[in-house]
Amino acid sequence: MNTRGVASGWVAASVIASLAILGVVSAADARKVEYVEEVSRVFSVDPDVKLILTNTSGDIKVTTWDREEIRIIARKTARGGSSDEAKEYAHDLEVEIRREGTRLVMVDTRYPEWGGGGGFLDLLLSRSASGEIDYRVTVPREAAVVLSCTSGDVSVEGTGGSLAVSVTSGDVEVTECSGLVTVVATSGDIDVEGIRGNTGLSATTGDVTIIGVDGDLMVGVTSGDIHCQDVRGSMNLSGSSSQVTVLDSRGDLEISTSSGDIEVSGFRGAILVRTKSGDVELDIELLEDGECDVSTSSGDVEMEIPEDGSYGFVIETVSGEVDISMPEEMDVRASKNLVKAKYRGGAQLVRVSTITGDVYIESR
C-alpha cells in the first residue's frame, strides 16, 4: 500500500477544505450586517467620585455637569454575516459596571470569546463577527477620571479632579480641565487646551499640541512634533526626532532633542536648549539675572533679545561664524573658538555652543 500517496492525498484534501471554508468566510465579510444597540445607566455618586473606564475598541468621550450623578451611554456596534449573528455578538459584548459605594465607579468592556473568524469553530460555522463600543460618559465636575483604550479616540472636557489617559492607538483631546493631567499615547496625536494644573504628556509616534496651560508642563515624544503656546510654568520638552515650537509663554524652559529644528518666540524666562542636529531660533526676554544656555552639535543659532538688557555673552564654535549686533559698544574678548563679550554690565548670561554652525545674535 502506498501510504505516502494516501497521506499526500489527505493533506491536499485538507488544504482544499480549509480554502473552501476561508472562501465562505471571505464571502461573508463582503456582506456583513451591522447591528447597533445602546445601553444607558445613571446613578448617584459623590461629587469627587473616581471613574475608571477600560475599553478595547471604540471611542471614549467624557464631559461634566453640575449633578451628583454619573451617566454612562454605551453604544454597541456589531457586524456579522447575518442580522442574527450581529445581534448575538452585540448581546455577548458586555459592559460591566462595578461600584464601591458612591466614591468609585469601574467600567470594563468584555468581548465575546467567539467571533473574529480566527477560531476553528468560527471557520466551520462561517462566523466572523466583530464589534466595538463607543462610550459617552458624563461625570460631576470634580470627578477624578482614569481612562484606558487600546484602539479608539479619547476626548475629555471640563473635569476638575485628576485625569489619567492611556491609549495604544488613537488620538487624545483634553480641554478646559483642572488638576493633574497625565496622557500616554503609543500611536496618535495629543491635543491639550485650557488646562489649569500640572500636565504630563507622552507620545511614542504622534504630534503633541498644547495651547494654554497654567502649571508645570512635561512632554516627551519619540517621533513627532511638539507645539506649545501660552504656557505659564516650568516646561520640560524632549523629543528624539522632533520639531519644537514654543510661542508666547513664560517660566523656566528646557528643551532636549536629538534632531529637529527649535523655534521659541515671545518667551520670557530662563531657557536651556540641547540638540544634536537642528537649527535653533530664539526670540526671548530674559528676566533679571536670567540665563540662556544653548548647545547644538550641528546647526545654526539665531537669537533676538531686548536691547535694554544686561548681557554677558559666551560663544563657542569649532567651525562657524559669530556675529553679535547690539546698539551700544561691548567689551569683547575673542580667541580662535571662543568669544566673550559684556553688554551693559553682563548681568544676564547668554551661553551658546556649537560644533558646526553659525551664531547670530541681535537686539530688537
The tens place of each residue's pLDDT in the chain, 364 residues long, gives 444 443 333 333 333 333 333 333 344 444 689 999 999 999 999 999 999 999 999 999 999 999 999 999 999 999 998 999 999 999 999 999 999 999 999 999 999 987 654 444 444 344 579 999 999 999 999 999 999 999 999 999 999 999 999 999 999 999 999 999 999 999 999 999 999 999 999 999 999 999 999 999 999 999 999 999 999 999 999 999 899 999 999 999 999 999 999 999 999 999 999 999 999 999 999 987 789 999 999 999 999 999 999 999 999 999 999 999 999 989 999 888 899 999 998 899 999 999 999 999 999 8
Distance between CA atoms of 144 and 184, rounded to whole angstroms?
Answer: 17
What are the domain boundaries of the chain? 22-145
CB neighbours (10 Å) of residue 120?
A: 8
For residue 160, the model assigns a pLDDT of 97
Distance between CA atoms of 255 and 244, rounded to whole angstroms?
Answer: 8
Cβ distance 277 to 259 under 8 Å? yes
* DSSP single-letter state for residue 19: H
Provide the grid cell at 172: 487624545
For residue 335, the model assigns a pLDDT of 86
Provide the grid cell at 155: 476626548
For residue 31, the model assigns a pLDDT of 65
For residue 5, the model assigns a pLDDT of 41
By three-state DSSP, how is residue 105 classified?
Answer: strand
Q: How far apart are the first and last CA of the chain?
A: 97
Provide the grid cell at 61: 468621550
For residue 274, the model assigns a pLDDT of 96
347, exposed or middle or buried, with CB in 10 Å at 0-12, 13-18, 19+?
A: middle
Please report which helix (H) or strand (E) contains residue 86, including its range.
helix 83-92
pTM listed for this prediction: 0.87
* DSSP single-letter state for residue 178: B
What is the 3 state secondary structure string of 22-67? HHHHHHHHHCCEEEEEEEEEEEECCCCCEEEEEEEECCEEEEEECC
For residue 8, the model assigns a pLDDT of 37
Provide the grid cell at 150: 487600546
CB neighbours (10 Å) of residue 38?
A: 10
Interior/surface letters 331-343, b for 16+ CB within 10 angstroms, e for the rest: eeeeeeeebbbeb
Q: Which amino acid is at 12?
A: A
* DSSP single-letter state for residue 288: T
Which residues, 6 or more positions from 195, have their beta carbon under 8 angstroms from its beta carbon? 174, 176, 177, 178, 181, 210, 212, 213, 214, 215
Cβ distance 138 to 42 under 8 Å? no
By three-state DSSP, how is residue 335 classified?
Answer: coil
For residue 14, the model assigns a pLDDT of 34
For residue 288, the model assigns a pLDDT of 79
For residue 128, the model assigns a pLDDT of 76
255, exposed or middle or buried, with CB in 10 Å at 0-12, 13-18, 19+?
A: buried
Q: Give the CA diameter of the chain.
A: 106
Cβ distance 76 to 38 under 8 Å? yes
Provide the grid cell at 298: 550641528
